[in-house]
């Protein structure tokens, strides 16, 4: 197919996956984003660190949601390795220290979007990545669809 574009790739932070797995309905923005990944409209990427964090938090707070989480991970997400600690130095100051590996993994994977509810934790100096809340990302998609 001539002129076909690749699908959008986005990095999904732990709070978005947690919200998607714990959602009481299927209409929350986090859950919708993960569903879009499941049906391959978008490529949802996350890191091993993020998966471990969500699994730990769900296990402590909402253990009955762990099966939903594992299903979402298997169907919706591409999991990448965490960046090495020596890869973080050149990005120092662009995110809170505990969130820096997330930003670096997103940049390494070429993700133009990083979805999180903690947008203030990330301050990338490059415009190659936009840090958005899930609802903001869906509004961007809606706007693009309206131009078709």
| 72 belongs to a structural domain | yes
| Average of per-residue pLDDT across 58-62 | 97
User: 27 near 129, Cβ under 8 Å?
Assistant: no
- How confident is the model at residue 66, as a pLDDT? 97
CA angle 88, 92, 95 (to 5 degrees): 100
Q: Quick check: is 2 in a domain?
A: no
Q: Does 106 reside within a domain?
A: yes
Task: Please check whether residue 136 lies inside any domain of the structure.
Answer: yes
Query: Does any domain span residue 3?
Result: no
Structural domain contains residue 45: yes
Question: What's residue 138's pLDDT?
Answer: 97
Asked, for residue 53, whether it belongs to a domain, the answer is yes
Q: What is the mean pLDDT of residues 57-71?
A: 96
pLDDT score of 20: 95
Q: Please give the radius of gyration of the chain, using alpha carbons only, rounded to the nearest integer.
A: 15
- Domains contained in the chain, number: 1
Q: Cα angle at 114 between 108 and 120, to 5 degrees?
A: 115
Residue 5 in this model has a pLDDT that exceeds 70: no
Residue 26 has a pLDDT of: 85
pLDDT the model gives residue 17:
98
Q: Is the pLDDT of residue 1 over 60?
A: no
pLDDT digits (tens, 9 = 90+) for 84-134: 999 999 999 999 999 999 999 999 999 999 999 999 999 999 999 999 999
Residue 1 covered by a domain = no
Q: What is the pTM of this model?
A: 0.93
pLDDT at 3 over 70: no
The CATH number linked to 124 is: 3.40.50.1010
Predicted confidence (pLDDT) per residue in 6-48, tens digit = 889 999 999 999 999 998 888 899 999 999 999 999 999 999 9
Containing structural domain, residue 104: 9-145
Tell me the mean pLDDT in the region 40-59. Answer: 98
């Amino acid at each position: 197919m001539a002129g076909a574009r690749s699908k959008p790739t986005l990095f999904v932070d732990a709070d978005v996956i947690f919200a998607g797995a714990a959602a009481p309905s299927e209409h929350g923005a986090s859950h919708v984003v993960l569903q879009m990944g499941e049906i391959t409209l978008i490529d949802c990427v996350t890191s091993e660190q993020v998966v471990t964090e969500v699994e730990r938090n769900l296990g402590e707070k909402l253990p009955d949601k762990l099966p939903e989480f594992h299903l979402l991970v298997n169907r919706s997400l591409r999991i990448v390795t965490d960046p090495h600690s020596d890869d973080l130095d050149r990005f120092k100051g662009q995110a809170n220290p505990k969130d820096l590996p997330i930003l670096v993994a997103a940049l390494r994977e070429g993700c133009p979007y990083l979805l999180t509810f903690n947008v203030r934790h990330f301050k990338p100096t490059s415009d190659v990545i936009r840090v958005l809340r899930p609802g903001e990302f869906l509004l961007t998609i809606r706007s693009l669809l309206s131009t078709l």
